[in-house]
Amino acid sequence: MDDLSQRFPALRGYTPLQREATEFDLGQIVEFLCAGLFVDDPELFTTFLDWLRVVLATRGVPASTVDLVLDVYEQQLYDFPRAGAHLAAGRGRQALAASPAGGEGRG
């Protein structure tokens, strides 16, 4: 959390409930990363990230914070190239979701 709060200073001002929700989300990212690695399917991970970005937006949290988290995780998992590839795929989806056509047509 320290690395993340340095990159996202607003985290320092979160209420205990907001911190708890953030910690839960961080754990979910790790769980879906592990699941995607286990079944060798980056789409499992990236689809979860798409969903998470929508959830975070409803909470007023910028979707770009997901990239911050992915960067922190990638720094910690530098010895695991498959994990790094999944994390990079998740960042690529961020760029897609931010484009005007991103997310349209999916249902």
Contact 42, 86 (CB under 8 A): yes
The per-residue pLDDT for 27 is 95
The per-residue pLDDT for 98 is 52
End-to-end, the C-alpha distance of the chain in Å comes to 34
pLDDT band at 102 (very low <50, low <70, confident <90, very high): very low
From 58, 51, 59, select the one nearest 19 (Cα to Cα).
59
Which backbone phi and psi does 99 adopt, to 5 degrees? -75, 155
Question: Mapping DSSP to helix (H, G, I), strand (E, B) and coil, where does residue 78 land?
Answer: coil
Q: How far is CA 16 from the centre of its chain?
A: 21
Considering only residues 30 and 2, tell me which one the structure prediction assigns the higher pLDDT: 30
pLDDT digits (tens, 9 = 90+) for 52-77: 999 888 988 888 889 889 999 999 99
Which backbone phi and psi does 48 adopt, to 5 degrees? -60, -45
Could you tell me what percent of the chain has a pLDDT over 90?
Answer: 51
Average pLDDT of the chain? Answer: 84
State the pTM of this model: 0.80
Alpha helix locations (H) across the chain?
A: 2-7, 16-38, 42-58, 64-76, 81-98
